[in-house]
Chains A and B, each alone.
Chain A
Amino acid sequence: MITPSCQRVAESIASGEFYQAAGLRRIRLWLHWCVCYACRRYRKQIETIERGAAIAFKFERATEVREAFKKKLAARLQV
């Protein structure tokens, strides 16, 4: 079976199409990914960055700060 090129597979990974493709397109993309070391690495790097972002952008604000924000907002909205 002819599979898409590395460039097309990388495009589909970055755009998200790789995860949503259906039917023959899905089989072709995944088949390429299975046999291509470079595309597997590329996908892993993109996923590592996404996972890292979920951790890097986790903001824990102190309870007092959260409460002060809520009070200020309630006053502004006059409730």
Chain B
Amino acid sequence: MEIEIDALKARKSATVEAMIDAHGEQLVSTALGLGFSEIDAEELAQETFVAFFESVDRFEGRSTLKTFLFGILYNKAREAWRKNKREIPEEDIEAKVDARFTLGCWTSFPKGPEAEAINEELKGWIKECAGNLSLQLRTAFYLKSAGGETTENICRILDVTVTNLGVLFYRARNQMRECIEMKSKGAS
């Protein structure tokens, strides 16, 4: 069923239900992927819908409904992190990566996961290492890798430029790779 924005603005029950069907679980999954507990993830998704209807008149359809909802979810997640003082200090990942090179050449060889099969150990490391990312880095990383979102949509959700998003990806992916390399050294 196609979701008509005007029907949403009029709160037609069938349309609202169709929207919940289409996006409710996606929002909960995303909140879970951002590290929220099941209870908090559900609450966050519900808050997102409530906020959507509070601002639905401002929705002009320039972004898709999904992207608009995800943008609200991200802002709600930021508020929740601030409230719980969960903000993680940004690691100086640039310096860490720089230290691997001399005159642009690798001096410290990148070691890490390259296996075709994704085993339980690697899945566990990925979850642990994602826990060290700031909310912005984690959202960018999650939406791209697990959410399969396009660069354009992620820019809209995080309200950043394409260039800024490239920097976020650079930081998130290197922080994840460095963290997993450390864990794989400890395991071998």
Contact = CB atoms under 8 A, between A and B. Distances in A.
B13 interface: yes
A42 interface: yes
B167 A53 contact: no
**Interface size of B as a range:** 35 or more
B9 to A, nearest CB: 13
Interface in A1-55: 5-8, 10-11, 14-17, 38-39, 41-42, 44-46, 48-55
Interface residues of A, number: 40
Contacts of A38: 106, 109-110
Contacts of A57: 29, 32-33, 126-127, 130, 142, 145-146
Interface in B17-32: 17, 20-21, 24-25, 28-29, 32
Contacts of A14: 169-170, 173-174
Majority DSSP secondary structure for residues of A touching B: helix
Q: Which 4 A-B pairs have the closest CB atoms?
A: A5-B104, A15-B166, A53-B145, A45-B112
Given A41-B114, A59-B33, A76-B46, 20 more contacts: A6-B105, A7-B105, A10-B110, A14-B173, A15-B166, A16-B166, A48-B112, A49-B176, A50-B144, A51-B145, A53-B126, A54-B145, A55-B123, A57-B130, A72-B42, A74-B16, A74-B20, A76-B49, A77-B11, A77-B53
Interface of B: 11, 13, 16-17, 20-21, 24-25, 28-29, 32-33, 42, 45-46, 49-50, 53, 97-98, 101, 103-106, 109-110, 112-115, 118, 122-124, 126-127, 130, 141-142, 144-146, 148, 151, 165-167, 169-170, 173-174, 176-177, 180-181
